[in-house]
Every structure is written in C-alpha cells, then in structure tokens.
C-alpha cells in the first residue's frame, strides 16, 4: 500500500453520537413475529460488528454482549443504521444539511436476514458499494495495521528548511505540495529546496495565515504533516460522509465538492465535465445543500443582500456605485447587467430558501488560487458561459439561450427538466491510481464528524478568509 499524500488537518469538537436516530420502531422484541435470534444469527451479528473497522466504526462501542431478543434487535438495528445512513445525523451536526439521504427499511431487512440466515450479507450490503468506498476502507485498514502512533511523516528539527538548502525531507514535502495542487508534478524532484517549491510553500503559507517567507518551519510542517492517527481519522470521516449519501443519485446531476472547490457534471451516469469553482470563505461557508437548477439567467442583475451591504458597502459612496454600474431601487442596491456585474454574464437559478446559486464572475483571477474558498456563500463557476452552453445544449434549448444572451438584458430561460445539484463536503479525493489523497479541511467541518465517530480531538490549521471580495 502506498503512502497517502496529505495536506490540512483536523481539530475535533465534542458532540454526541446519534447512531440510533434513524431507527424507526423501538417497541417490538423482534423484527417480526416469526424471525428469531438463533445462536447462528447471534454469532453472525457479533462477527459483523467485530469487523466494523472496515467501515471506520471501530472507535464506537457496539456492545456485542447484548442478550435477549429485544436487546439483540436494537443492537443489530443500531449497527445497520450506522452502515446504511451513517453513525451520525448530519442534520444535527450542521445548521444546514439538505443533501438527499438514503432511505432503508431496516426492520424489514433485518427480519428477512434473520429468516434467511444471512445477517452478515445483509449488513454488508447496507454500506456503500462503490469502488471509492472500498478504496477508503482498504486505506483505513492498512493504516490500522501500521499503527496509530502520532509520529510525523515529515520529522521536525530545530532549524527550518531555507530556500536553496538540501534536505532529505524535501521529496516527501514535494509530494505533499503536489497532492494539494500547490506544486506541479514536473517541478518535484531531488533533495534541493528549489525556487518552484519556495513559491508553492509561500502560497500555502498565505492561504493559512502564516508569514509567507518560504521557510519550512514548524507552522508550515503542521499544515503538510499528519500522523497515521490523523490520516485514519480523515479517512473514517470520508467514509461516514459517503454513508450519508443516497446510493442511487440522479444519473444527470451537478456535484460540487466545497472542500476541494470543484464541480462535476454527470450526464446519464457518466462524468461529462469537471471544472473549478469558488465557494464561500470561512465564516460565510457555502452550506451542504441538495437544490436543483431550474433556469438559466442571461445578463443577470444583482440585488445586494443586506448582510453584504452592511458589511462591505457602509463606507462606499455614490461614486463607487456609479463606477460599478449600481443604482438604488426601492431601498436596495442593484447592480445592472454588464461585464462588471458580480454575477458575471450568467446565473444558474436554484430552488432553496438560503439564496444559494451558481453563477459567473468577473473575478477570473480567483480560479488560479489553490484554496478557492473566497466568496460570500454562492458558487462561482469557471468558464460559466461555457458551462451554461453545455447545459443548454444538453437540454435542447441552446437557440433560446443564445437569443437571451444577445439581448444584453436580464432574461430568463427555463430548463425543460430541473438538474439536481448536490453541494457536498469531502476532504479525501482520489489520485489517478484510485488511491485516497487527504487534503485540507478548509471549513473545519470534519471536526464534529470525527468526534461523533469516537475519535479523540485532533489538531489542525484553518484556511484564512480573505474578506476582500464583495460578490455573492
């Protein structure tokens, strides 16, 4: 098993476990009047629970000493719920979580498994069956075999590594920088702390609020460097987040990974397009939503929300408004269509009460950033016009869309079929070989999940918000 490349880290918060919250009926001794807990079924249940490390659930206590029909049933349903829906309820961990979740009749499934004598098979079938989930499981078990000692992959020394120096740690540091997109793979090699690596380290330092001097000291290594325990925690959280998701998502959909700031467009079950996005910065995070795109807006206007007006426009006079093509209408600041509009030239209207949507932006330079958590909460799409053309062409409305754009005025083009969008948060990606790559946790959202899974508090570096952008 290769080593897993890691950037970022995790800081844990104390929150309660909510493993039983999805179990429905709690008052019958057995799942049905006929199905009973035979000695064989009891042994099978205990065998399945003993193997829970394959799902990153080994830090939770599922007491296999339960006796009696009712106690065994509740134990089985609790473990089944953890596999089918997740050990924790994300709607209780986060203020906003509306991503569609799996729905499974666990009591009926358990009754059949008991009657057929297939308790282990049934339990294992409840977990995600994707290649990615299996890769996470394999990586987690491999880390378990290596031990969870807190020793660092990149050892620290009293003196930092300075530009131009040779150091045996440089190849590992370079791999970490490549994994986190700060360094091009072609620029990694040798033991010398080269100029391209110095630039990469400075960018990383700036993103995390460290003085960008290029010196690789304790602070920089803390971002790059995690122990096996930290690594295992991140992978267990990734498995849990995967268990939260519907096992059969819409074949045509848009998935946005907020942690990696990337958009994936799926068409008829196949990945059709991937592009960068800019999402909410820390303190104005983009929430985890399930919300469809229902229309395209050409040449949109932008009505500045009160929160942004109070925070960013309080000291801006009428000359600023004129320069940015803004006017006051009915007590609101409204930016007119045009190249300076903060929504750019296209908006992807979505149905949700949080006023979150995808859109274009005139701030194209932000797509060159590595950590693209820079907005007030909405999602800015790289080459948004190209993405709108792609959706319009697939929907058979490209002519109508082109006419709307040509007007130069705000125009609305409805999609014949809504396109589901999932705004997700996943800090573990996969490299070209299909191996897990643990990246930064820019919002610190892994914290609550890791504690709910029974892990001890970790350590971490948070992304620093820029606070300089006035767009949505």
Is 212 a residue whose pLDDT tops 70? yes
More confident residue, 300 or 439: 300
CA atoms of 278 and 286, how far apart (whole Å): 10
pLDDT confidence of residue 154: 83
**pLDDT at res. 121:** 97
pLDDT in tens, 111-165: 999 999 999 999 999 999 999 999 999 999 998 877 655 555 788 888 999 999 9
- Residue 359 catalytic? yes
Q: Residues 20-67: pLDDT tens digits?
A: 333 333 344 455 544 689 999 999 999 999 999 999 999 999 987 778
Question: Considering its fold, how many domains does the chain have in total?
Answer: 1
CB 187: neighbour CB atoms within 10 A?
15
Q: Is the pLDDT of residue 462 over 80?
A: no
Domain membership of residue 149 (yes or no) is: no
| Residues 407, 397 contacting (CB under 8 angstroms) | no
Report whether 284 contacts 470 (CB < 8 A).
Answer: no
- For residues 281 and 375, the answer to whether their CB atoms sit within 8 Å is yes
Instruction: Give the residue numbers spanning the domain of 351.
Output: 250-301+337-419
Higher-pLDDT residue of 26, 296 = 296
Confidence band of 167 (pLDDT split at 50, 70, 90):
very high
Closest by Cα among 373, 364, 367, 362 to 207: 373
Interacting residues of 375 by C-beta distance below 8 A, sequence separation 6+: 278, 279, 280, 281, 284, 286, 469, 471, 472
Do the domain assignments include residue 322? no
What confidence score (pLDDT) does residue 467 get? 56
Least confidently predicted of 55-64, 247-256, 304-313, 457-466: 457-466
> Does 360 or 458 have the greater pLDDT score?
360
- Kindly state whether residue 209 falls inside one of the protein's structural domains: no
The answer as to whether 142 is a domain residue is no
In a domain, 76, yes or no: no
Q: Which CATH number covers residue 267?
A: 2.40.440.10
Give me the phi and psi of 267, to 5 degrees please.
-120, 120
Task: Confirm whether 259 is domain-assigned.
Answer: yes
Known catalytic residue: 378? yes
Asked if residue 195 belongs to a domain, the reply is no
Which of the residues 55, 59, 359, 376 is marked catalytic? 359
Region 363-370: what's the mean pLDDT?
A: 92
Judge whether 353 lies within some domain.
Answer: yes
Give the pLDDT mean for 336-347.
95
CA dihedral 130, 132, 135, 137 (to 10 degrees): -70
Q: Please, what's the b/e burial string for 200-225 (b: 16 or more CB within 10 A of its CB; e: otherwise)? A: bbbbbbbbbebebebbbbeebbbbbb
Helix (H) or strand (E) holding 470: none
Asked whether the beta carbons of 359 and 384 are under 8 A apart, the reply is: yes
Task: Spot the catalytic one: 55, 59, 376, 378.
Answer: 378
Q: What is the pLDDT of residues 190-203, one digit of tens each?
A: 999 999 999 999 98
Which is nearest to 264 in space by CA: 353, 358, 362, 360? 358
């Amino acid at each position: 098993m290769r080593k897993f490349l890691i950037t970022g880290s995790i800081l844990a918060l104390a929150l309660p476990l909510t493993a039983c919250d999805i179990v429905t009926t709690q008052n019958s001794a057995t799942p049905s009047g006929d199905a009973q807990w035979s000695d064989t079924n009891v042994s099978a249940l205990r065998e399945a629970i003993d193997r829970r490390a394959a799902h990153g659930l080994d830090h939770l206590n599922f007491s296999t000493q339960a006796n009696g029909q009712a106690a065994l049933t509740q134990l089985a349903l609790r473990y089944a719920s953890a596999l089918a829906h997740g050990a924790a309820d994300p709607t209780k961990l986060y203020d906003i979580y509306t991503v569609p979740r799996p729905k499974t009749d666990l009591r009926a499934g358990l009754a059949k498994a008991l009657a057929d004598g297939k308790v282990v098979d049934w339990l294992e079938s409840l977990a995600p069956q994707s290649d990615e989930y299996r890769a996470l499981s394999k990586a987690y078990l491999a880390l378990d075999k290596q031990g969870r000692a807190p020793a660092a992959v990149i050892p620290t020394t009293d003196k930092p590594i300075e530009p131009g120096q040779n150091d045996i740690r440089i190849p590992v540091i370079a791999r970490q920088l490549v994994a986190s997109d700060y360094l091009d793979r072609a620029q990694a090699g040798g033991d010398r702390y080269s100029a391209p690596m110095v630039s990469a380290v400075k960018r990383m330092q700036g993103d995390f609020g460290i003085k960008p001097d290029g010196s690789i000291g304790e602070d920089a290594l803390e971002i790059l460097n995690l122990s096996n325990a930290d690594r295992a925690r991140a992978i267990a959280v990734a498995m849990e987040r995967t268990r939260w998701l519907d096992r059969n998502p819409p074949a045509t959909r848009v998935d946005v990974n907020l942690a990696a700031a990337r958009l994936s467009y799926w068409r008829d079950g196949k990945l059709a397009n991937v592009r960068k996005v800019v999402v909410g910065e820390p303190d104005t995070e983009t929430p985890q939503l399930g919300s469809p795109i229902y229309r395209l807006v050409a040449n949109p206007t932008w009505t500045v929300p009160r929160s942004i007006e109070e925070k960013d426009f309080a000291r801006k006079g009428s000359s600023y408004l004129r320069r940015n093509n803004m006017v006051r209408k009915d007590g609101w600041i409204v930016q007119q269509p045009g190249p300076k509009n903060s929504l750019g030239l296209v908006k992807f209207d979505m149905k949700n009460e949080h006023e979150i949507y995808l859109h274009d932006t005139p701030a194209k330079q932000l797509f060159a950033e590595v950590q693209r958590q820079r907005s007030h909460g909405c999602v800015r799409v790289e080459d948004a016009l190209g993405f709108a053309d792609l959706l319009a062409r697939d929907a058979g409305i490209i002519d109508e869309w082109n006419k709307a754009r040509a007007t130069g005025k705000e125009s609305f083009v409805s999609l014949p079929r809504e396109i589901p969008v999932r705004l997700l948060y996943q800090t573990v990606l996969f490299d070209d070989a299909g191996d897990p790559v643990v990246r930064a946790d820019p919002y610190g959202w892994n914290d609550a999940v890791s504690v709910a899974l029974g892990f001890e508090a970790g350590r971490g570096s948070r992304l620093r918000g820029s606070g300089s952008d006035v767009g949505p």
